[in-house]
Amino acid sequence: MRRGLAALALTLLAASAASSATLKATLIVPADDARQERARLERAYLGHPGGPASDGLQLALEEGRFELEAAGSAVSLATQPAATLEAAKAAAQAAEKGGAAVLLTDLPADWTLAVADAVKLPVLNLGASADRLRQQDCRARLFHILPSERMRSDALAQTLVSRKWSKLLLLVGASAQDQQRAATVQASIKRYGLQVVASKPYKLSADPRERDLANPLLLTAGTAYDAVWVVDSDGEFARALPYRTVLPRPVVGDAGLVALGWHAQFERFGAPQVSRRFAKANKRPMTDHDWAAWMGGKALVAAASAEPKGPNAAWAQALAKTPIDGSKGTSLSFRPWDGQLRQPMLLTDGQGVISQAPIEGLMHPTQVLDTLGADAPEKLCKATR
Amino acid sequence: MTNTTIAVIPALRQAQDRPGCARAGIQHRRTSWIPAFAGMTAWVLCAAAHAQGTAYVSSEKDDALTMIDLATLTVKGTVPTCKRGRHIQVTPERRILVACTDSNVADLIDPATGKSLRRIPLGDEPEAFDLSPDGKTLYVSNEDEAEASFIDVASGKKLQSIKVGQEPEGVKVSADGKTLYVTSEVASLVHVIDVASAKVVKNVKVGKRPRRMAITPDGKELWVTNELDATVSIISTATHTVTDTVKFEVKGARAQDITPVGIVMTRDGKRAFVSLGKANHVAFVDVASRKTTKLVLVGKRAWNLALDKAEARLYVVNGLSDDITVVDVAGAKAIKSIPVGRVPYGVVVFE
């Protein structure tokens, strides 16, 4: 019996070696990434990257080795830094020529689009949350793992509904990104029937002449509200807002209670094991961006083991349709109408996970996860998949 | 059967609140020892059938086991144990053994005294385990290291350690003790390990996130729950290939909310009980036809489960409602939910 089993094992190994095919993937990242500067990383703002995307990606590939070996397949990863949009495009084309089956990007929105347009390969967007990439500027082969801004604001709006905190004071920064995100927040507020009692701009300043714009006490006085929703893509103003409001009301949005795709303190569904493995390998806590990168690696492993022999076209198909396990309690899949990975969201104060969205009891005709982000009937995406 | 009047009467009062119990009692009419009128017989027998014994429930956040009296279905106390108790089993020597993930040990508890006899080191982050048929070797999944380890129970020494896929979970040894099965939640594989050589001889691809296993009494089939697939994969132990898949459906629940974890089979191998996780139900499955015959509503995130000796009651651990549900098997109905520790994980019935 023993000898028989050993012989069987040998045959299996031989068989897998003979049919082994390697899925080549290339990760394109900014050469000089302002988000990755030390001073920025040290702030550890919620919703901002905590380190390079390759950390999570490598971990997932490492973890997938057993599954890939069992399937008789393999994944190889190259990383290409790009200094400009043009360079990103060139890197994408070079990767395609070099036989890459999938590209992964952790790039600004317009660079991501340039990459998607430069090649005929599936592109996994790991780091750009802009709604336009899922809506009017969507692309047929562009997939998004990081939750969209709309998913984040929908998750928060649902949570406010469940708490019956319906009157909101909105504080919005001046940057173009803040303005765009504020429009998304307003759409979520409308969708879930919440009410904005006042919307005010703020400014980071110590100038006494600008104190109406800069002083949290002055900004939060004069109206009654249940919560303050702050939109601050930079993070510095929002961080200083909780406990500095005139009324004893919670702050939500980019500080206080924040909606994210992942938090290292999430306790359910095997999540602590994932966070622990990440922390062990990279000596830092796993952020939502790290989770997205890790899931990018998981998607590659899933595609390679679903179609062990490839070729690239088969992997591209498998990537779009193979559900992946993100340790969030349910199998996750890409929405066919905009390429976004549907997923539960976590509401965190930075110390722990307070709750999840979709909130309990919320109904949807087909898939309750589609209450987060642009649902099929609202899609602006015209690309056909 | 030496129940005195004192022992029977409180149990009798309990039984009157539980219609399911009467049905369970009727099955035991042959063992009748009270020649009373029919209704009375059923009540008394019901109490007698469940009179002796304790269910032990592990919970991840209490460092203690909760003891439930099987006759009254009430909590009768707790047993302090190691940290983050998870998988729990009764050993061939009739002791309670619980694996503690945060203490890296198994605690061997004497049910007679409720005291720990000794602790057996299990390696880093042990989750689930099984014992060799002679009780001398412990097979354990080490979650973070992605290993399956063989531990010598007597000396507590690690004999072997085998690399497996990430997040190994379920551990099951064949009745002859020659083959060990370990699931990997991340790789979606069942690793078939030859115990003698301590080598993985085959990896069987099953559904997404495989968790627990049961082997049919004839030894021919290995049933594996797939948490993220709403299925059980049935593996032939002769060929180590998946021969069948049981898909679960619950009216009013979507496929993604049906997350099977726990599985237990009757001694005759005719019926399997599968907990459906977030769907908050337990499925009764007819093994021969692979069909779900009954669905019983239990608590939140139904997890691991155990049968009593008479196979009249099923004890279901509810991970998200901090309680267990007692299901009357004959009536296919929950008869009581009992609050236990925080984040309960596993249960054994000791009679």
Q: Over its length of 351 residues, how does chain B's per-residue pLDDT go in tens digits?
A: 344 333 333 333 343 344 444 443 334 444 444 444 444 444 444 444 444 799 999 999 999 999 999 999 999 999 999 999 999 999 999 999 999 999 999 999 999 999 999 999 999 999 999 999 999 999 999 988 899 999 999 999 999 999 999 999 999 999 999 999 999 999 999 999 999 999 999 999 999 999 999 999 999 999 999 999 999 999 999 999 999 999 999 998 988 899 999 999 999 999 999 999 999 999 999 999 999 999 999 999 999 999 999 999 999 999 999 999 999 999 999 999 999 999 999 999 999
Q: Please, what is the end-to-end C-alpha distance for chain A in angstroms?
A: 51
Residue A379: the pLDDT is 85
Q: Which residues of B touch A360 (CB under 8 A)?
A: none
Least Cα separation, residue B256 to chain A (angstroms): 6
Query: Could you say which of B164, B178, B201 has the minimum Cβ distance to residue A66?
Result: B164
Q: Does residue A336 have a cis bond before it (omega within 30 degrees)? A: no
Pairing of strands B126-131, A123-125: unpaired
| Sole residue written with tokens 């994210």 | A260
Residues of A with CB under 8 A from a CB of B: 1-2, 5-6, 8-9, 12, 63-64, 66-67, 70-71, 270, 273, 276-277, 280, 323, 325, 329-331, 367-369
CA distance B193 to chain A (A): 10
Determine how many CB atoms are found less than 10 A away from the CB of residue B143.
24
Pairing of the two strands B96-100 and B85-90: antiparallel
For residues B218 and B232, the answer to whether their CB atoms sit within 8 Å is: no
Per-residue pLDDT, B38: 43
Residue with tokens 């279901």: B316
How many helices and strands (H and E) does chain B possess? 3, 28
* Cα gap A7→A1, rounded to integer Å: 10
As a whole number of angstroms, the distance between CA B113 and CA B136 comes to 23
Comparing B6 with A309, the larger pLDDT belongs to: A309
pLDDT score at B196: 97
Query: To the nearest 10°, the Cα dihedral for A181, A122, A289, A321?
Result: 100
Judged by CB atoms closer than 8 Å, whether chains meet at A277 and B144 is answered as yes
Q: Cβ–Cβ contacts within 10 Å for residue B93, how many?
A: 10
Residue A304, judged by CB atoms within 10 A of its CB (0-12, 13-18, 19+), counts as buried
Which residues does chain B have within 8 Å of residue A276's beta carbon, measured at their own beta carbons?
144
Is the ipTM here above 0.95? Answer: no
- Collect all residues of chain A within an 8 Å Cβ-Cβ radius of residue B228: 323, 325, 330-331
Decide: B208 and B195 in contact? Cβ < 8 Å: no
B163 with A66: Cβ contact below 8 A: yes
Question: What span, in angstroms and rounded, lies between the C-alpha atoms of B171 and B303?
Answer: 16
Task: Provide the whole-model pTM.
Answer: 0.82
Provide the 3-class DSSP secondary structure of residue A304.
helix
pLDDT: which is higher, A385 or A92: A92
Look up tokens 């006899």; give the residue: B117
Q: Do A331 and B165 touch (CB under 8 A)?
A: no
Distances (CA, A) of A121 to A113, A341, A370: 13, 18, 26
A70:B194 CB<8 A: no
CB A374 within 8 Å of CB A338: yes
User: A6 CA to chain B: closest CA distance, Å?
Assistant: 7
Query: In sequence order, what are the residues at sequence separation of 6 or more whose Cβ sits closer than 8 angstroms to the Cβ of residue B21?
Result: B15, B43, B46, B50, B328, B335
> Residue A29's pLDDT is what?
97
Q: Are B174 and B167 in contact (CB under 8 A)?
A: no
Cα–Cα dist B220/A12, whole Å: 23
Widest CA span in chain A: 87
Which of A1, A276, A369 shows the shortest C-beta gap to B144? A276
Contacts of A270 in chain B (CB under 8 A): 167, 185
Nearest chain A CA: its distance from B300 CA (Å): 13
Chain A positions touching B197 (Cβ under 8 A) are 2, 5-6
Contact B256 A330 (CB under 8 A): yes
What is the percent of chain A with per-residue pLDDT over 90, rounded to a whole number?
A: 86
pLDDT score of A49 more than 80: yes
Instruction: Indicate whether A9 pLDDT > 50.
Output: no
Closest Cα of chain B to A36: distance in Å?
29
- A253: pLDDT strictly greater than 60: yes
Number of H helices, E strands in chain A: 14, 14
Cα separation of B121 and B259, whole Å? Answer: 31
How far is it, in rounded angstroms, from Cα B190 to Cα B193? Answer: 9
Answer whether A6 sits within 8 Å of B256, measured CB to CB.
Answer: no
Phi, psi of B254, deg, nearest 5: -85, 155
Residue for token pair 């949350």: A129
Helix, strand or coil, per DSSP, at residue A372: coil
CA B232 to CA A48: how far, in whole Å? 40
Contact B119, B106 (CB under 8 A): yes
Query: How many angstroms separate the Cα of A22 from the Cα of each of A65, A77, A100?
Result: 12, 10, 10
Spell out which residues of chain A touch residue B257, defining contact as CB-CB under 8 Å: 330
pLDDT of res. A20: 66
Report how far apart, in Å, the C-alpha atoms of B256 and of each of A331, B85, B228, B319 are: 7, 28, 7, 18
Q: Pull the structure tokens for residue B128.
A: 């689930």
CA distance linking residue B162 with residue A379, whole number of Å: 49
